[in-house]
Amino acid sequence: MSEWLENHLPKVVLAPSFIAVLIFVYGFIGWTAWVSLTRSKLLPKYEIKGFIQYERLFDSPRWDTAINNLYIFGALFIVIAMALGLLLAILLDQKIRVEGAIRTIYLYPMALSMIVTGTAWKWILNPGLGIESMVQGWGFTNFEFDWLVNPDYAIYTIVMAAIWQSSGFVMALFLAGLRSVDGEIIKAAQVDGIPTWRIYTAIIIPSMAPIFLSAFIVLAHLAIKSFDLVIALTGGGPGYATDLPATYMYAMAFSRGDIGQAASSAMIMMLVVFAIVVPYLYSELRAKND
Amino acid sequence: MKRFVFATASTLAVVAGTSVLAEPQAEVLHWWTSGGEAKSVAVLQEEFAANGGSWTDMPVAGGGGDAAMTALRARVLSGNAPTAVQLKGPAIQEWYEEGVLADISSVAEAEGWAEVLPASIAGHMMCEGVWCAAPVNVHRVDWIWANADVLAANGIEMPTTWDEFNAAATKLMDAGVIPLAHGGQAWQDATVFEAVVLGIGGPEFYQKALVDLDPEALTSDTMVQVFDQMRMMRGYVDENFSGRDWNLATAMVMNGEAAFQIMGDWAKGEFLAAGKKPGEDFLCASTPGDGYLYNVDSFAMFDVDGDDKKAGQDLLAKLIVAPNFQKVFNLNKGSIPARTDVALDDFDICANLSAEDMGSTSAAGSLLPSYAHGMALRGSQSGAITDVVTAHFNSEMSSADAVQQLADAVANSY
Amino acid sequence: MAPILDINKLYKNYGATEILKDINISIEPGDFLVLVGPSGCGKSTLLNCIAGLEEITGGTLSIGGNDMTHVSPKDRDIAMVFQSYALYPTMTVAKNITFGMKVRGVDQATQDAKLKEVAQLLQIEPLLNRRPSQLSGGQRQRVAMGRALVRDPKLFLFDEPLSNLDAKLRVEMRTEIKKLHQTLDASIVYVTHDQIEAMTLATKIVVLKGGIVQQIGTPAEIYNNPANLFVADFMGSPAMNLIPAQATKNGSGTEIAIARETGETLVLKDSRDLSLPKDVILGLRPEDIAEAGFRAGAGVQEAECLVDMVEPAGADTYVVSELGGKQVTARLHAETSAQAGRMLNLAFDMSKVSYFAKETGERLN
Amino acid sequence: MTDISMPQSQTQSRTQSAAGKIALRWLLYVLLGLFALYYLMPLFVMLTTSLKSLEEIRTGSLISLPREVSFDAWNTAWSGACTGIQCEGLRPYFWNSVLIAVPAVAISTLLGALNGYVVAQWRFKGANIIFSLMLFGCFIPFQVVLLPMARLLGIMGIAGTIPGLIFVHVIYGLGFTTLFFRNYYVTIPAELTKAARVDGAGFMRIFWSIFLPLSLPIIVVTVIWQFTQIWNDFLFGVSFSQAGTQPVTVALNNIVNSTTGVKEYNVDMAAAIIAGLPTLLVYVVAGKYFIRGLTAGSVKG
């Protein structure tokens, strides 16, 4: 018995976590899939009615907006946060005197929930209270910055705040990457007389491919899960111009009492996540399985 | 001490037969967390305690009760429902259909609720023939508030038709005053919308369009006119309205930045809190047109185990509808009592006007549930309408398109 | 006396891939067995199987006469030294060495005594309170050996222990390991890809390729009588010359014809009585080709060859000539007058020649 | 260190004057400073607003410094602000959050370490599939799990309790903690485990004596990450708590998102800062180790 335990201890240790994940992730996904096929309203029901909820979902203009917003938001957020994170990391890598302090300043937004900072952002972006009125107060009366209240641009304010929150973290990832690049290669390039910016673009950045991947995954997962951000900043408005799938799903499940509809939107979200994460997992585990 | 003994005795009298020995217990889930509201709930808690009960407060603010509803759903599913929950409108019946609400008919019959509540309001408290919720108050939603000085300075009377309102608005804009203080949140857009529907279409049209969801009414020319008026309203709003809380909009009326606000009578609490006098500093009137849109807050009792909790539910239900609480609470909250036999001498002129109108409209059949505040429709239906209303208000959508979308959205919800 | 290690029909698969096939090895107490082969040949896997770190798929394995096929590493009475030394980074040298005893509940006094003994033996007493990160490569190597020695196991396992050291240290440590083996009379299984290490240390060599044992034997057997082309090519430096040739029976002996690009075919006579097929590969080590006049013996045959290249190496000079389409290396004395581009008379010691089948690569004589 | 800041003094032509270099250096600092402003702005607004009086907030500019610094709002937020009928401020909820976050962080970190150790060092058939299945759990939108989770918590009898919340946070933290530790432990040579096994150490012994002492950098990263996630969580907090077990974010939401009544912005802001203080502190104090730990984990992993 003890021999058996000794041999199987690793599996025994992993088992509770694995079983928990099976139930609390996959079981729940299965539950959601089931409910998405029912006409559940206030509380879940289990009588299958077919794909009616999906038909309703794809008929809903609000869902269209939410999905479009996810594309816009996701693409801009990921690209800009990565670019900004990389830029900041490179700037900080130039032997800056007060690097520790600046790094902390760039990183701290990650520590705060949007529930905490949302109100401040709302003020700053509000045309009557924040930047616009401030700049106009300086005498530039033509200055306009009314994105928050403009349905066509409000989604970009969400992007701004999201970048504010996450780019510091990306910066930290990239900084860590820069610091781990083999110094000899860089010395060799310097001896060859290659200018600094070329060293970055041709040698250092390409060697950080794994970090780009990690950053991408972290950001993609934040983008898909973005919820607090929208609730705190715009509440989905103006209108439902800044709705994202996560807020749509939440609204359906909890303020509309339309759980079947919420479940179907959740399943579509899961599909999007699946499409992004599975290739990553595949490459990650293949590369390291040699 | 004497009072305590008296209170205990009366409690025993009421709940005799159900659970005499258990100390009444209640965990109350609600989203009245701020200033006047919280004070109002505190009144209830004090009375509850004075009657020997022990009150556990479970406030969850945010999103007009969204967060509270999230918590409620989780609690009910986990088999750990709160004792009493702030619920209103068809949601009460929906929860009852899920089989999780308790029957409080014994209290209601003992207290004679049927005699003191207006029939339409009593209807909201009944589920399949039994009493399942206790009404707290009646808010009137179709109010228009105005800054008296601004109106006087521009020579404007309180408008009684939408044309008058539009004329007044144009005049105000010329004078550099924001005509309408508004916050760009979906429920505020919906509040204005239902006032316009009631005003332009009349009570019958309102009933057809927003209560019965009659497709003909929804796609009618009247509805097109309603959206035309909404487009006008959008022009009367300043450009910073998006996401603004309603109380900030009220403040704009108070300090003369804006002239009017269309908002339920909770706005009055803001005026009063700022020391303004009704009839002098600010004016209240129903929005142009006939009818009365009500928003009744109520508490529903959930099925719970334990005699102490059941005793708590009975006690709570009794206290909520009792005249004393109805009066004190509504004085704090700006609304009027749900029961009609409470003397309104201590209430201000706006509340008295509200009570008068409630009586007359109830008789005329134009006492109607507010759709924007979840009194008329189920959540998925009212939500679908609000989606269209707010999308129209916040974009360049044409009225015809809006009507079409409205019909589609209603058909798509069920 | 029972063999200290007996491996019988051992198989090891990873999924569908066979890593080790039908391994049969047996060594006596005091043997120094070296497993040698190119990387990926399965030698480290075999060592891990012996240690119990990998389950074997088929066959049996016994250590000290006890069946250990399914026994966990800690109960096999073995000690192991790793390529990367695998010193516990957070422990001092002393703790590293005594960790195994501590785990096994050996009392403190014994631990101290053993530690002292081993530290003395390996001359690492001054290092006992340092951490691995503060040690040089050679020092780490010693500590890793100390950790194994202190256990007094039935069998020591070494997994390429010297490959992370620089050339000079490697030679030093090699000598030291040899000395330790002799003083302790320990039984050792040692994995390396370096055939010189194998030759110098082993009492018994196993050559592995593709998970299959190519040859088992003493260093001399392996060197002089390689079982096939692979072993012939792998063992020895410079490698054995492997020249395609044609054999013809001629009386009791054999005539070997080797084609040359320049000049006529080279014909050498082997006087041994062999039965060879027509096409063969002739294997002759560089030291068995000398400058004419410097090698005597019955089997020596001389022939003029064109020198392509001369490589002086201090003690010897290597000369390269083209024979049978191959660059053939001969090891001459240092003072040779050979010059590139000139003809030179070379002496081939045909009594040392190995013959291999052209198709299978198996040894023929 | 990449160390490439001033390498070119020899190789570059001498025409580039020292002045130009200094200008470049200044530009760098100006750029960094501007970004710092961007990042600090919301915190600055929150901080100054929390120190102003309500009157000054109404009349003054958003970014002006307070004319008269007052800590009244902080006092109110901490111990006097009303959420519902109780006016105890954030204090009791703050304590709830501590009771939830500390055990949840500890348990999920420990389990993550064990799981990562198994997946990285004790590979068995199917371990990779199990790991990817666990990892995918990181990406599940939490709204999806609210309702079924509520039901299961009810069945387990821990609905609305602090252990229930700890349980939920541990479950949904496992994916990330396992990932962190796995990526870190993968960089530790497998020979270390082998050596210890030959030395006679078992599975747990190797973990305690060898791996755990090595894990400080990644423990720091995991603890920071988990603590931030759990402390800042609102969705689980609001759904799975009941009166008396609500975490600080729910209380903050109650204070900030009240729909009626006079809004005390200074109190809102002070409350927001108080609620964010522990995580802020963790980042400021341990941020350095966070970056180091990331290097150890995600780069080489």
CATH number at residue D251: 1.10.3720.10
Tell me the domains of chain C and their CATH numbers.
5-234 (3.40.50.300), 241-357 (2.40.50.140)
Residues of D with CB under 8 A from a CB of B: 82-86, 146-147, 149-151, 153-155, 159-160, 235, 238-244, 246, 250, 253-263
With a cut of 0.85, is the ipTM above it? Answer: no
Q: Report the alpha-carbon distance of residue B53 to residue B41 in Å, rounded.
A: 15
Q: Which chains touch D (3 or more CB pairs under 8 A)?
A: A, B, C
Q: How confident is the model at residue A190 (pLDDT cuts 50, 70, 90)?
A: confident
**Token reading at A90:** 């490179």
Same domain, D163 and D208: yes
Q: Report the alpha-carbon distance of residue C329 to residue C283 in Å, rounded.
A: 12
Model confidence, pTM: 0.82
Residue D205 lies in a domain: yes
The more confident residue out of B2 and B356 is: B356
Q: Report the alpha-carbon distance of residue C164 to residue D191 in Å, rounded.
A: 14
**pLDDT at B2 exceeding the cut of 90:** no
Residue D46 half-sphere exposure toward CB, CA atoms < 13 A: 28
Residue D78 lies in a domain: no
The full length of chain A comes to 290
**pLDDT at D10 exceeding the cut of 80:** no
**pLDDT at D12 exceeding the cut of 50:** no
pLDDT value of residue A2: 67
* Closest residue, chain D, to B28 (C-alpha): D243
* Closest residue, chain C, to A2 (C-alpha): C72
φ, ψ at B56 (rounded to 5°):
-110, 125
Outline where B182-283 has alpha helix (H): 186-206, 215-218, 221-235, 246-254, 266-273
Q: Report the alpha-carbon distance of residue B239 to residue B253 in Å, rounded.
A: 16
Same domain, D149 and D250: yes
Query: CB C51 to CB D205 under 8 A?
Result: no
> Minimum mean pLDDT among C111-125, D63-77, D109-123: which range?
D63-77
Q: Where in chain B is the domain with CATH 3.40.190.10?
A: 2-139+296-350, 141-294+361-412
Same domain, D102 and D220: yes
User: Which CATH homologous superfamily contains domain B141-294+361-412?
Assistant: Periplasmic binding protein-like II (3.40.190.10)
The more confident residue out of D243 and C223 is: C223
Same domain, D165 and D275: yes
pLDDT value of residue D179: 85
Q: Report the alpha-carbon distance of residue B59 to residue A161 in Å, rounded.
A: 29
Give how far Cα C6 sits from Cα of A127, B234, C18, Å: 85, 92, 21
Q: At what angle do helices C137-149 and C167-184 cross, to 10 degrees?
A: 20
pLDDT value of residue C108: 93
Q: 3-state DSSP call for residue C304? A: strand
Q: Report the alpha-carbon distance of residue B319 to residue B387 in Å, rounded.
A: 38
CB C300 within 8 A of CB C359: no
DSSP label of C334: T
Q: Residue C185, exposed/middle/buried by CB under 10 A (0-12, 13-18, 19+)?
A: exposed
Q: How confident is the model at residue D168 (pLDDT cuts 50, 70, 90)?
A: very high
pLDDT value of residue C280: 92
What is the Cα A20 distance to its own chain's centre?
25
Residue D12 lies in a domain: no
Residue D179 half-sphere exposure toward CB, CA atoms < 13 A: 25
Helix (H) or strand (E) holding A66: helix A61-92
Identify the residue among B31, B242, B248 best suited for mutation to test binding to A, counting A beta carbons within 10 A and taking the highest: B242
Q: Report the alpha-carbon distance of residue A200 to residue A197 in Å, rounded.
A: 5
CB B299 within 8 A of CB B131: no
Domain carrying residue D105? 91-299
CB B326 within 8 A of CB B118: no
**pLDDT at D13 exceeding the cut of 50:** no
Contacts of C159 in chain D (CB under 8 A): 191
Same domain, D129 and D187: yes
pLDDT value of residue A274: 83
Report the CATH number of the B2-139+296-350 domain. Answer: 3.40.190.10
Q: Report the alpha-carbon distance of residue C72 to residue C361 in Å, rounded.
A: 40
Please state, as a whole number, how many other Cβ atoms lie within 10 Å of the Cβ of residue A3. 11
Q: How confident is the model at residue D295 (pLDDT cuts 50, 70, 90)?
A: low
- Strand B292-295 to B139-140 pairing: antiparallel
**pLDDT at B62 exceeding the cut of 80:** no
Same domain, D65 and D102: no
Q: Tell the residue number behind the tokens 């600090």, with chain if given.
A: D40
CA-angle at D141, arms to D140 and D144, nearest 5°: 100
Task: Share the mean pLDDT of chain D.
Answer: 82
**pLDDT at D14 exceeding the cut of 60:** no
CA-angle at D91, arms to D283 and A120, nearest 5°: 55
> Minimum mean pLDDT among A139-148, B401-410, C350-359: which range?
A139-148
Interacting residues of B407 by C-beta distance below 8 A, sequence separation 6+: B215, B218, B219
What amino acid is encoded at A58 in this protein?
F
Q: Report the alpha-carbon distance of residue A244 to residue A247 in Å, rounded.
A: 5
**Token reading at A2:** 């003890």
pLDDT value of residue D263: 67
Q: How confident is the model at residue B22 (pLDDT cuts 50, 70, 90)?
A: low
Query: CB D189 to CB C86 under 8 A?
Result: yes
Cis (ω within 30 of 0) for the bond into C244? Answer: no
B20-40 mean pLDDT:
76
The more confident residue out of C50 and A123 is: C50
Sequence-separated contacts (24+) of C227-230 with Cβ below 8 Å: C227/C362, C227/C363, C228/C356, C228/C360, C228/C361, C228/C362, C228/C363, C229/C281, C229/C283, C229/C356, C229/C361, C230/C361
Q: 3-state DSSP call for residue B216? A: helix
Residues 73-102 on C with a CB inside 8 Å of D are 73-74, 78-80, 82-84, 86-90, 99-100
The percentage of chain C sitting over the pLDDT mark of 90, rounded to a whole number, equals: 52
Chain A and chain D share a number of CB contacts under 8 A equal to: 268
pLDDT value of residue D1: 39
φ, ψ at B213 (rounded to 5°):
55, 45
CB D86 within 8 A of CB B57: yes
Same domain, D42 and D133: no
> In total, how many domains does chain D have?
2
The more confident residue out of A194 and B352 is: B352
Of D119, D135, D299, the CB nearest to A211: D299
Q: How confident is the model at residue A273 (pLDDT cuts 50, 70, 90)?
A: confident
Outline where chain D has alpha helix (H): 18-51, 54-59, 72-79, 91-121, 127-136, 142-156, 162-185, 190-198, 203-206, 212-214, 216-232, 235-239, 248-256, 265-294
Of D83, D151, D246, the CB nearest to B77: D151
Q: How confident is the model at residue A287 (pLDDT cuts 50, 70, 90)?
A: low
- Strand B143-147 to B282-286 pairing: antiparallel
The Cα of D89 is separated from the nearest Cα of chain A by a number of Å equal to 16
Written as one string, the DSSP assignment of C168-206 is HHHHHHHHHHHHHHHHHT--EEEEES-HHHHHHH-SEEE
Q: Report the alpha-carbon distance of residue B339 to residue B326 in Å, rounded.
A: 8
**pLDDT at A64 exceeding the cut of 60:** yes
**pLDDT at B15 exceeding the cut of 50:** no
pLDDT value of residue D8: 44
B180-207 mean pLDDT:
92
Task: Share the mean pLDDT of chain A.
Answer: 83
Residue D43 lies in a domain: yes
A127-142 mean pLDDT:
76
Are chains D and C in contact at 3+ CB pairs closer than 8 Å? yes
CB B374 within 8 A of CB B142: no
D83-109 mean pLDDT:
88
Q: What is the mean pLDDT of each run of 10 residues along chain C (365 residues)?
A: 87 88 92 92 92 90 90 88 89 92 90 92 91 90 90 90 87 90 91 91 94 94 93 90 90 87 83 87 92 85 89 91 90 88 90 91 89
Q: Which of D26, D41, D70 is the last residue in one of the domains? A: D70
Residue D85 lies in a domain: no
Tell me the domains of chain A and their CATH numbers.
63-287 (1.10.3720.10)
Residue D284 lies in a domain: yes
Query: Closest by alpha carbon to C69, among C84, C86, C83, C51?
Result: C51
The more confident residue out of D166 and D147 is: D166
Q: Tell the residue number behind the tokens 């690569």, with chain if given.
A: C361
